[in-house]
Amino acid sequence: MRIPYSLSFADLQARLADGSLTPTQVARDVLAAAPLGDQHHAWIHRLPEADVLAQANRLESVVEARKLPLYGVPFAVKDNIDVAGLPTTAACPAFEYTADVTATAVQRLLDAGAVLIGKTNLDQFATGLAGTRSPYGICANAFDARYISGGSSSGSAVVVALNLVSFALGTDTAGSGRVPAGFNNIVGLKPTRGTISTAGVVPACRTLDCVSIFTSTTSDAWRVYEIARGFDTVDAYTREPEPSRHLPATPLRCGVPRASQLEFCGDAETAAIFERAVTYARESGAEIVEVDFAPFRETAALLYQGPWVAERLAGIKDFFAAHQQEMHPITREITAGGARYSAVDSFEAAYRLQRLKQRAASEFSKVDVMLVPTSPTIYTIAQVEADPITLNSNLGLYTNFVNLLDLAAIAVPAGLRDKDRLPSGVTLIAPAFSEPLLCAFGDRLHRLSSETLGATRFTLPSRIPAIKDSAGDAHVQLVVVGAHLSGMSLNHQLVTRGARLIRSARTAPCYRLYLLPESQPPKPGLVRSADNQGHAIEVEVWMMPVDRYGAFVAEIPAPLGIGTIELEDGRLMQGFVCTQALHAARDISEYGGWRHFVASQ
């Protein structure tokens, strides 16, 4: 069974809003269609029907949940990303464990109303760009099962292309969030490193890893990114938000590699589609500027011909020492190669990378964005199995350098090839924090070159919301103490107003936390001790657009209010406080925070 309507946000959310669909109906349709993904070996673990329907029923039972930005939207996650209570395999049965904690990025999407359907297949330990290195089956292309789907996030791309979910999370270290998008006629957003937490992600190269997003349109990718991103103290590589780059008011300068530097591995079809995409970029109003692609190509070679391979070994060294014979032979060979690099090799490579960063930055000073093929060609599964290392390396020619150079990228469809009607894509690349620019310009190119979504006959929505980063608008930072914490009962009041989590923190050690009597839902009250003796209480700092702040504050019931809170680092910020004495209330300060108290009950 195929789902008779598009799961793109514009179509699905309109139906959910007008009542012609409910989350439960969507969940039932998705469950009925999910076996189609099994035919492509796209799934590793699908949630039981009862669990999926329970998620949908919970959403329907709470009237306020209808305001959540992802209310009833089905999604999937790559099986190197943790979901509490579910197995994580990284496509290696011997590695399997049951996760205790849900990955931060996944939890933020669940809190926003999304419904998890299952976990998807991948190149083992996220090592590969072909989608052929999994004991759970080779993940076949959504258009033609004889061809590769691209990796390592193969299953995540295929379930989106087949209209089995609205979006899926992958990971991207060397191009795993882009190559599968190009091969399956969908969008793949690789955000700036550290903007989406990698807490709860099995590392490939931890210093380079990103959580990536697969959708059928760029506006959907932007929406998921807005919700999933945010500072996370659990992730050592998380980054504070910085001002985003939007489309410039003047004509956008679009860089393309010099003609002599383009490589298509003899594939005239991909070359023709890229040439056409450049024409579309020009027709959209962009100024085309040739750039020197040499520093980017040299950087790409470093990823697998340098000591970053050792980082793949570092991520699973204990498992590798005990279970390497239980790994996929190609993954084992690549991972074992990390042992040959020394500390001296690492420093020398770091010095070379820094020089290449300077050369790449010089090229980006001439342009706003760079346009490249997503991959130089596509191969059959049989071709890759006959020469797995060389052909996989070819696929990373236009992707391997992006994370090393701290760039952001989005892969968008560029049309179908004439001869075999397989998809081909292009990728837009720009400096860090350029996601709004990439999504907006990517939408222009997508609409000029493609008509259908993924491997379906559904067409692109005629209108999309403007892609604009609200973080660039005036905003208020707010310290959240109790039921508004992420994952708690009133968190939706923040999320539905466009607020996003900045970081976790603690108060100065001079506060007490009380359980407010007869409060529904249960809430705590934070009070500063009169003698400045007390506890450091765990809190979160959220950022909310200022134009939505007043309405939010108006909903706060007595005895709570907004006042000044001193954080552990000495900063003074506005946040939830109790505006009256609570002598008769239960003191729960010893728990150190509302989350710990709730967990103890």
Tell me, what CATH number does 568's domain have?
A: 3.10.490.10
Query: Residue 451 pLDDT > 90, yes or no?
Result: no
Check residue 217 and give its pLDDT. 97
Q: Is residue 286 part of a domain?
A: no
Cα–Cα nearest to 228, from 204, 210, 205: 210
pTM for the predicted model, two decimal places: 0.85
Last residue of a domain, one of 449, 480, 499: 449
176 in catalytic set? yes
User: Is the CA virtual torsion 361, 364, 369, 375 positive or negative?
Assistant: negative
Pair 434, 518 in one domain: no
* Spatial distance between the Cα atoms of 405 and 135, rounded to a whole number of angstroms: 32
Tell me, what CATH number does 424's domain have?
A: 3.90.1300.10
- Comparing 601 with 580, the larger pLDDT belongs to 601
Pair 505, 594 in one domain: yes
Check residue 203 and give its pLDDT. 96
Across 29-38, 203-212, 351-360, 578-587, least confident range = 578-587
Q: Is residue 208 part of a domain?
A: yes
Query: Residue 224 pLDDT > 70, yes or no?
Result: yes
Check residue 537 and give its pLDDT. 95
Mean pLDDT of 376-385: 98
Q: Is residue 103 part of a domain?
A: yes
| Phi and psi angles of residue 561, each rounded to the nearest 5 degrees, phi first | -165, -175
Q: Is residue 112 part of a domain?
A: yes
Check residue 473 and give its pLDDT. 60
Check residue 213 and give its pLDDT. 98
Provide the pLDDT confidence category of residue 581 given band limits of 50, 70 and 90.
Answer: low
Classify residue 319 by burial, with Cβ atoms within 10 Å: 0-12, 13-18, 19+.
Answer: middle
Pair 86, 130 in one domain: yes
Mean pLDDT of 107-114: 96
Mean pLDDT of 88-108: 97
- Of 6, 8, 78, 219, which one is the catalytic site residue? 78
Rounded to the nearest integer, the mean pLDDT of the chain is 94
Last residue of a domain, one of 418, 449, 480: 449
Maximum pairwise Cα distance, the chain: 79
Q: Is residue 554 part of a domain?
A: yes
Per-residue burial over 459-480, b if 16 or more Cβ lie within 10 Å, else e, is ebbeebeebebbbeeebbebbb
E strands in 89-144: 97-98, 115-120
* Domain containing residue 526: 470-600
Pair 441, 476 in one domain: no
Check residue 545 and give its pLDDT. 81
Domain count, the chain: 2
Q: Are residues 385 and 132 in contact, defined by beta-carbon separation less than 8 angstroms?
A: yes
Residue 242's CB: how many other CB atoms inside 10 A? 12
Across 198-207, 341-350, 555-564, least confident range = 555-564
User: Is the CA virtual torsion 435, 437, 438, 441 positive or negative?
Assistant: positive
Check residue 487 and give its pLDDT. 85
User: Is the CA virtual torsion 407, 413, 417, 423 positive or negative?
Assistant: positive
Place of tokens 């504070």: 240
152 in catalytic set? yes
- Comparing 573 with 26, the larger pLDDT belongs to 26
Query: Residue 495 pLDDT > 90, yes or no?
Result: no
Q: Is residue 264 part of a domain?
A: no
Pair 416, 554 in one domain: no
Pair 532, 413 in one domain: no
Pair 119, 213 in one domain: yes
562: amino acid identity, one letter: I
Mean pLDDT of 215-229: 96
Q: Interior CA angle at 555 toward 551 and 559, to 5°?
A: 135
Check residue 472 and give its pLDDT. 59
Q: Interior CA angle at 450 toward 449 and 456, to 5°?
A: 165
Condensed to tens digits (0 to 9), the pLDDT of residues 155-172 reads 999 999 999 999 999 999
CA separation (Å) from 419 to 269, 376, 450, 456?
A: 8, 16, 17, 19
Check residue 50 and give its pLDDT. 98
Going by their DSSP bridges, the two strands 43-46 and 97-98 should be labelled as unpaired
Pair 584, 539 in one domain: yes
Q: Are residues 74 and 165 in contact, defined by beta-carbon separation less than 8 angstroms?
A: yes
Place of tokens 């938000």: 241
Across 150-164, 290-304, 582-596, least confident range = 582-596
Query: Residue 138 pLDDT > 90, yes or no?
Result: yes
| Phi and psi angles of residue 359, each rounded to the nearest 5 degrees, phi first | -70, -40
Condensed to tens digits (0 to 9), the pLDDT of residues 518-576 reads 888 999 999 998 888 899 999 999 888 887 888 888 888 888 989 999 999 888 889 99
Pair 56, 173 in one domain: yes
* Spatial distance between the Cα atoms of 15 and 100, rounded to a whole number of angstroms: 35
Going by their DSSP bridges, the two strands 187-190 and 407-416 should be labelled as antiparallel
Place of tokens 């390592």: 152
The secondary element (H helix, E strand) that includes residue 129 is none
Pair 113, 216 in one domain: yes
Across 114-123, 361-370, 446-455, 467-476, least confident range = 467-476
Provide the pLDDT confidence category of residue 252 given band limits of 50, 70 and 90.
Answer: very high
Last residue of a domain, one of 401, 419, 449: 449
Annotate 312-376 with DSSP letters as a single string: HHHHTHHHHHHHGGGS-HHHHHHHHGGGG--HHHHHHHHHHHHHHHHHHHHHHTT-SEEEEES-S
Query: Residue 502 pLDDT > 90, yes or no?
Result: no
Q: Is residue 458 part of a domain?
A: no
Query: Residue 458 pLDDT > 80, yes or no?
Result: yes
Across 1-15, 194-208, 235-249, 254-268, least confident range = 235-249
Provide the pLDDT confidence category of residue 225 given band limits of 50, 70 and 90.
Answer: very high
Provide the pLDDT confidence category of residue 514 given band limits of 50, 70 and 90.
Answer: very high
Check residue 41 and give its pLDDT. 98
Pair 160, 49 in one domain: yes
* Spatial distance between the Cα atoms of 83 and 104, rounded to a whole number of angstroms: 9
- Of 8, 152, 244, 449, which one is the catalytic site residue? 152
Q: Are residues 400 and 299 in contact, defined by beta-carbon separation less than 8 angstroms?
A: yes
Check residue 460 and give its pLDDT. 92
Is cis: bond before 180, omega within 30 of 0?
Answer: no
CA separation (Å) from 209 to 13, 190, 296, 430?
A: 31, 10, 18, 17
* Spatial distance between the Cα atoms of 276 and 266, rounded to a whole number of angstroms: 17
* Spatial distance between the Cα atoms of 406 and 43, rounded to a whole number of angstroms: 31
Pair 76, 122 in one domain: yes
256: amino acid identity, one letter: V
Mean pLDDT of 310-337: 94
- Of 176, 212, 424, 486, which one is the catalytic site residue? 176
Mean pLDDT of 425-437: 96
Check residue 474 and give its pLDDT. 64
Place of tokens 């989608």: 131
* Spatial distance between the Cα atoms of 130 and 370, rounded to a whole number of angstroms: 24
Condensed to tens digits (0 to 9), the pLDDT of residues 384-427 reads 999 999 999 999 999 999 999 999 999 999 999 999 999 999 99
Q: What percent of the chain has pLDDT over 70?
A: 99
Check residue 164 and give its pLDDT. 98
Q: Is residue 362 part of a domain?
A: no
Q: What percent of the chain has pLDDT over 90?
A: 81
Provide the pLDDT confidence category of residue 177 given band limits of 50, 70 and 90.
Answer: very high
Q: Are residues 440 and 247 in contact, defined by beta-carbon separation less than 8 angstroms?
A: yes
Check residue 418 and give its pLDDT. 92
Query: Residue 471 pLDDT > 70, yes or no?
Result: no
